[in-house]
Structure 1
Amino acid sequence: MKIEDLVYHDGDQTCIGHLAVPDGDGPFPGVVVVHEAWGLGAHAMERAEKLAALGYVALAADIFGDRKIPANPPEAFAIIGDFRANPDRLRARAGAAVDALKAHPACDGRIGAIGFCFGGSTVLELARSGRADVLGVVSFHGALGSPGPSTSGGVTAKILVCHGADDPLVPADELSGFLAEMREAKADCQTIAYTGAMHSFTNREADGSLMPGIIYHAPTDARSWAAMKAFFADEVFG
């Protein structure tokens, strides 16, 4: 595959994404990958490359801009807290990555999105935005609530939520509220709750040292990735 930086903009903000293009003749369906609270790092880049190995052109987006990496957890939580409190701003920033990938010559114009933790909540905001060119999104251990919930008929993307049933950061009432929101929106949404899995179950570096509930869970990592592959192959791009 071909790996390169992709510079794009959200208004005056420069963003520096990580693009992975499959070998072979394109164009290919495109998938935007959204990082966790720690900024665009190895985890999201690795997942973009795994998607390219599956035949998708994948852009690991730079939501913070200038490929900023927070210096510590309080700084990271302040950045994502501001984005989460301003869903229109978050949707625009994620939408800029969608536009950049869609415009790339290796992309055939069909777009999906996946995200992890903060990135999972970000791709759900993309779905809530009602963009018709985003065909499907997958949230891995993302927050599920929003200050700007969807409205009836406002969600056009298909949604897959891969949720840790024992995630202490997403309480049961947030999950039930999300399901009610999707029901009211008449969204095409499927949600898988994996028992034994907590927050950050896809990230091998999550060892519980930051917080006991932030920990990798290998079986759920494998199962949720398999669910994503089937979702994209059979329902979104098939």
Structure 2
Amino acid sequence: MTMTRRTIVHDGPGGPFEGVFAWDAAQRGARPGVLVIPNVLGQKEADNQKAEALAALGYAAFACDVFGQGKRTQRGEGASRYMDELNADRALLRERLRAALDALTAQPEVDRERVAAIGFCFGGKCVLDMARAGLPFRGGVSFHGVYDRPDIPSAAITASLLICHGWDDPLGPPEAVVALGQELTAAGADWQLHAYGGAGHGFTDRTLSEGTGGFGYDARADRRSWEAMRNFLQELFDL
């Protein structure tokens, strides 16, 4: 196994954008690709490590950037400023996600007919918006995502979806989870929901302390959701 990274700078609306592509150079031929969409802070080393973890499973993964090259934040005041701009313009967000997906499928190591996406927090919302927009990917996983629907028309959902949800997440209260299930059912989606008791928002983020008040890391939910993702991708790509 030879883990390899490539920095990718690509165009898109409001770009350029910069992300990191990871693959196992010892593996021959094209393999399924996975888009990794970051949380509120933007593209960072933790996302690159997720891409490498996917590469170790036999995929080629692109930890993408939807905020713009150099646009990153830290926790604290102003952490959500770039996310807020895209929350206010979900049509622009769709086009940036399309550009990131195109950058992934342009890589020679990727089988462009077999592509998935995973996302964390804001990235989980992005996975759902990709499906709502009918972008060309087979399926996606939302980890502690945000479930509000965009105020722009959605397509019939053909991508399979796995929603990994912390039951104590204040950003995804029960009524929001039920509304998402109703939306996906009405759209004809193949969807499943894994809810983790005692886990809150950010349960996969090891930079956070153990969860209090509905936020924070939860080792058990992190482990279980990653295994659920592995099973989901294997079924999605008939591996």
TM-score relative to the length of structure 2: 0.92
Q: Name the CA distance, whole Å, in 2 between partners of 1:99 and 1:232.
A: 20
Deviation of 1:49 (Å): 0.5
Deviation of 1:235 (Å): 2.5
Identify the residue that residue 116 of structure 2 maps to in structure 1. 112
Deviation of 1:108 (Å): 1.1
Identify the residue that residue 231 of structure 1 maps to in structure 2. 232
- Residue aligned with 1:177, SS: helix
- The two structures, once aligned, show a CA RMSD in angstroms of 1.8
- Residue aligned with 1:2, SS: strand
Unaligned runs of at least 5 residues, structure 1: none
Out of 3, 8, 22, the residue aligned to residue 20 of structure 1 is 22
Deviation of 1:202 (Å): 0.4
Identify the residue that residue 64 of structure 2 maps to in structure 1. 61
- Residue aligned with 2:148, SS: coil
Identify the residue that residue 165 of structure 2 maps to in structure 1. 163
Q: Name the CA distance, whole Å, in 2 between partners of 1:76 and 1:5.
A: 24
Deviation of 1:173 (Å): 1.1
Identify the residue that residue 207 of structure 1 maps to in structure 2. 209
Q: Deviations over 1:145-182 (max 9, x none)?
A: 1223775x611110000000111121111111111101
Question: Which structure 2 residues correspond to residues 34-73 of structure 1 after superposition, within 5 A?
Answer: 34-73=37-76
Q: Name the CA distance, whole Å, in 2 between partners of 1:24 and 1:195.
A: 38
Identify the residue that residue 125 of structure 1 maps to in structure 2. 129
Matched residue count? 235
- Residue aligned with 1:193, SS: strand
The answer to whether the 8 Å contact 1:84/1:146 transfers is no
Identify the residue that residue 5 of structure 2 maps to in structure 1. 3
Structure 1 residues 157 and 220: CA distance shift in structure 2, 3 A: same
Q: Deviations over 1:86-143 (max 9, x none)?
A: 2211111111111011011111112100000011101110011112x21000000000
Identify the residue that residue 142 of structure 1 maps to in structure 2. 145
Q: Name the CA distance, whole Å, in 2 between partners of 1:53 and 1:27.
A: 15
Q: Name the CA distance, whole Å, in 2 between partners of 1:159 and 1:10.
A: 25
The answer to whether the 8 Å contact 1:32/1:58 transfers is yes
The answer to whether the 8 Å contact 1:85/1:147 transfers is no
The answer to whether the 8 Å contact 1:40/1:69 transfers is yes
Matched, 1:186 2:188: yes
Q: Name the CA distance, whole Å, in 2 between partners of 1:155 and 1:173.
A: 21
TM-score relative to the length of structure 1: 0.93
Letter of the structure 2 residue corresponding to residue 95 of structure 1? R
The answer to whether the 8 Å contact 1:37/1:76 transfers is yes
Identify the residue that residue 96 of structure 1 maps to in structure 2. 99
Q: Deviations over 1:49-72 (max 9, x none)?
A: 100000111000011110421255
Identify the residue that residue 30 of structure 1 maps to in structure 2. 33
- Runs of 4+ aligned structure 1 residues displaced above 4 Å come to none
Q: Percent identity?
A: 39
Letter of the structure 1 residue corresponding to residue 101 of structure 2? V
Letter of the structure 2 residue corresponding to residue 125 of structure 1? D
Q: Name the CA distance, whole Å, in 2 between partners of 1:161 and 1:227.
A: 10
